[in-house]
């Protein structure tokens, strides 16, 4: 997104790559699904390229995707975000109280007869987004500095709270309500490793790029020459990640379409409720368009890689829990892309009223 302040129509503000982003994403999803379906050895081959449970192809794609966005962050302005207690408190409440509770409720209401899928969705609800949300926020012209802070905050809570919340929503709360219980064993070291790879590496790379670039060539060169060159890499990394992700699970998705449809229903409701509700809360709190948009996307997104990894490690690669995790990005990616355009339309009306 090269223009952030123009009053021109939304579509006119987009580059060719951005303008047809939904098309490229749908093509990437289709290519991944077909490749995973038609080339049986592809999924296992890609899945075998991993270290400590972290898929290296997906890690590479996320690194390429997130680096340009994090390189754009003005780290000397982060104190303006950390000083906004309203934003931080609201984000924590939405991500770690409302989000998991909403997914738990939707899973039980809409999938009462499918315990494996229900459990998988609850795990998805516990895995708060710390990666792909960065690019959705940037495409929607949200606050980059706020996104960096909220994603970092989520990463800390993910390491500290994921296992405890997993016990609460799969064992403790169902037991108190007289519902079937499920055990979930999650290594905090595995979660910390996921956070380090998917957030820590691109965050450090982005920070060092800005510090070194501004120190050697100045801010004007960095923002007018360097960033435009690396900026397109974000969308290329996104498309690469989508192809790899769907190639890994293409056969599982295409072989059970009715199950995918059942899993998709609570996910659609979840993303719609979380994004719309968070956007409304930010608007009512007077956060401004940029931070309201950041709040909405960080609350609605989920860490699909962590959810899938936990489901596979606990229940097996062919389990219903793992399939539910895989369907997560199948629904999340096109829905959040659509919400990027909803955000841009809302931005135009917002600015017209002010």
The CA radius of gyration of the chain, in Å to the nearest whole number, is 20
Backbone angles phi and psi of 111, in degrees to 5:
-130, 50
pLDDT of 247 > 90? The answer is no
pLDDT of 311 > 70? The answer is yes
Q: What is the pLDDT of residues 10-66, one digit of tens each?
A: 444 455 666 677 788 888 888 888 887 777 777 677 767 766 556 678 778 878 888
- Compute how many other C-beta atoms are within 10 angstroms of the C-beta atom of residue 349: 10
pLDDT given for residue 352 in this prediction: 66
The answer to whether residues 4 and 289 touch, using CB atoms and an 8 Å cutoff, is no
Q: Where are the domains of the chain?
A: 11-353
Q: Using CA atoms, how far apart are residues 129 and 332, in angstroms rounded to an integer?
A: 11
At residue 3 the predicted structure's pLDDT band, cuts being 50, 70 and 90, is very low
Topology (CATH) of 11-353? Na+/H+ antiporter like fold (1.20.1530)
Beta-carbon-side half-sphere exposure of residue 242 (alpha carbons within 13 Å): 26
pLDDT of 4 > 70? The answer is no
pLDDT of 291 > 50? The answer is yes
Q: Using CA atoms, how far apart are residues 202 and 329, in angstroms rounded to an integer?
A: 21
pLDDT given for residue 121 in this prediction: 95
At residue 317 the predicted structure's pLDDT band, cuts being 50, 70 and 90, is low
Q: What is the pLDDT of residues 96-135, one digit of tens each?
A: 999 999 999 999 999 999 999 999 999 999 988 877 788 8
Residues 144-155, mean pLDDT to the nearest whole number: 87
Q: Is 149 exposed, middle or buried (0-12, 13-18, 19+ CB in 10 A)?
A: buried
Q: Using CA atoms, how far apart are residues 267 and 174, in angstroms rounded to an integer?
A: 20
Nearest one of 292, 330, 305, 342 to 150, comparing CA atoms:
292
Of 5-19, 56-70, 164-178, where does mean pLDDT reach its minimum?
5-19
- Residue 146 contacts by C-beta under 8 Å, 6 or more apart in sequence? 81, 84, 87, 290, 291, 294, 295
pLDDT of 148 > 60? The answer is yes
Structure tokens at 205: 């790379």
The residue assigned the tokens 């449809």 is: 261
How many helices (H) and strands (E) in the chain?
Answer: 21, 2
Q: Which helix (H) or strand (E) holds 18?
A: helix 16-19
Residues 174-187, mean pLDDT to the nearest whole number: 83
Q: Using CA atoms, how far apart are residues 126 and 96, in angstroms rounded to an integer?
A: 8
Q: Using CA atoms, how far apart are residues 314 and 245, in angstroms rounded to an integer?
A: 20
Per DSSP, the three-state class of 143 is coil
Of 99-103, 197-201, 224-228, 262-266, where does mean pLDDT reach its minimum?
197-201
The answer to whether residues 271 and 331 touch, using CB atoms and an 8 Å cutoff, is yes
pLDDT of 147 > 50? The answer is yes
- Residue 103 contacts by C-beta under 8 Å, 6 or more apart in sequence? 121, 122, 124, 125, 126, 266, 270
The residue assigned the tokens 């390491």 is: 159
């Amino acid at each position: 997104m090269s223009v952030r302040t123009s009053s021109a129509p939304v579509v006119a503000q987009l580059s060719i790559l951005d303008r047809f982003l939904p098309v490229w994403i749908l093509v990437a999803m289709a290519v991944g699904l077909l490749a995973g379906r038609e080339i049986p050895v592809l999924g296992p081959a890609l899945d075998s390229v991993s270290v400590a449970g972290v898929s290296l192809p997906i890690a590479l794609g996320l690194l390429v995707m997130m680096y340009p966005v994090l390189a754009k962050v003005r780290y000397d302005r982060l104190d303006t975000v950390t000083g906004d207690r309203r934003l931080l408190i609201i984000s924590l409440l939405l991500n770690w109280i409302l989000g998991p509770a909403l997914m738990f409720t939707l899973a039980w209401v809409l999938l009462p007869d499918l315990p494996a899928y229900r459990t998988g969705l609850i795990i998805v609800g516990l895995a708060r987004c710390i990666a792909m949300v960065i690019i959705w926020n940037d495409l929607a012209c949200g606050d980059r500095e706020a996104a960096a802070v909220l994603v970092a905050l989520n990463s800390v809570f993910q390491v500290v709270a994921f296992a405890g919340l997993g016990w609460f929503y799969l064992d403790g709360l169902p037991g108190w309500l007289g519902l079937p219980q499920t055990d979930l064993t999650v290594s905090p070291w595995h979660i910390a490793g996921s956070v380090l790879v998917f957030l820590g590496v691109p965050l450090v790379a982005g920070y060092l790029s800005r510090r070194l670039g501004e120190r050697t060539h100045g801010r004007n060169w960095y923002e007018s020459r360097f960033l435009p060159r690396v900026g397109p890499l974000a969308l290329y990394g996104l498309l690469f990640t989508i192809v790899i992700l769907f190639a890994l699970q293409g056969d599982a998705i295409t072989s059970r379409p009715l199950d995918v449809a059942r899993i998709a229903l609570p996910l659609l409701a979840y993303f719609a409720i979380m994004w719309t509700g968070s956007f409304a809360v930010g608007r009512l709190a007077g956060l401004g368009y940029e931070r309201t948009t950041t709040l909405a996307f960080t609350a609605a997104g989920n860490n699909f890689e962590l959810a899938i990894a936990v489901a596979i490690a606990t229940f097996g690669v062919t389990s219903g829990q793992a399939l539910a995790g895989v369907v997560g990005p199948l629904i999340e990616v096109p829905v959040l892309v659509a919400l990027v355009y909803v955000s841009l339309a809302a931005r135009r009306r917002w600015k017209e009223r002010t």
